[in-house]
């Protein structure tokens, strides 16, 4: 197995979830917001079953509000308020260093808004500090589809794994004998919402 292929795996106990700035004031501004919320909720609930440590940030919450109530972030670290566009603040980086049973994660699954601002800046900082980053494309968005898609391409160019919600769920679960398989199977029974990431052929 190549080194690059090995880095594409996700392992329980070595993976963390970062939720970036999915806040109340973005509800009407973000492209396909409701669909992003649907996909993200499925991912968050599955990761809770898989006991993935989670950390949440909020950009200037006094102006942009709290994390949306649809997300069950009970048990998560945070929310941590920030003014920088990257989540990798000194406070949050300290939390990340012990997020997986006292150790830093090997891989970080990243979701949130806006893709071309806070998500991308977070991904850059995480890559700079040696983390494998799995940006979940159908759980990230921006005000425009153009900004969103170009940001995903830039993150791919710096070595991020561009994934989907079900991809990271099943990658982390690894096999159908997992003790949470039936519960997660129920969660994914409803397909992820289409958010315009790929063209649909009319043929």
Question: Residues 20, 42, 77, 118: which is the catalytic one?
Answer: 118
Q: HSE of 87 in the Cβ direction (CA atoms, 13 Å)?
A: 32
Query: CA 27, CA 37: separation in Å to the nearest integer?
Result: 10
Active site residue 28: no
Per-residue CA distances from 93 to 2, 130, 186 (Å)? 29, 12, 34
Question: Residues 42, 77, 82, 171: which is the catalytic one?
Answer: 82
Question: Residues 20, 21, 125, 140: which is the catalytic one?
Answer: 21
Active site residue 139: no
Active site residue 82: yes
| Listed residue (80, 76, 84) closest to 92, CA to CA | 80
Catalytic residues: 21, 82, 118
């Amino acid at each position: 197995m190549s080194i690059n292929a090995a880095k594409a795996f996700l392992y329980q106990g070595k993976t963390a979830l970062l939720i970036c700035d999915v806040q109340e004031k973005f509800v009407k501004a973000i492209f396909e917001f409701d669909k992003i919320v649907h996909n993200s909720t499925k991912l968050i609930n599955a990761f809770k079953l898989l006991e993935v440590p989670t950390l949440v940030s909020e950009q200037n919450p006094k102006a942009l509000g709290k994390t949306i109530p649809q997300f069950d972030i009970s048990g998560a670290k945070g929310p941590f308020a920030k003014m920088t566009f990257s989540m990798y603040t000194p406070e949050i980086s300290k939390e990340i260093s012990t997020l997986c049973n006292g150790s830093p994660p090997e891989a970080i699954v990243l979701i949130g808004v806006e893709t071309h601002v806070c998500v991308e800046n977070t991904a850059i900082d995480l890559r700079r500090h040696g983390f494998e980053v799995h940006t979940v494309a159908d759980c990230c968005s921006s005000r425009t589809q153009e900004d969103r898609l170009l940001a995903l391409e830039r993150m791919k160019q710096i070595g991020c794994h561009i994934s989907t919600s079900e991809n990271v769920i099943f990658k982390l679960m690894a096999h159908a004998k997992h003790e949470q398989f039936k519960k997660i199977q129920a969660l994914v029974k409803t397909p992820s919402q289409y958010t315009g990431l790929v063209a649909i052929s009319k043929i």
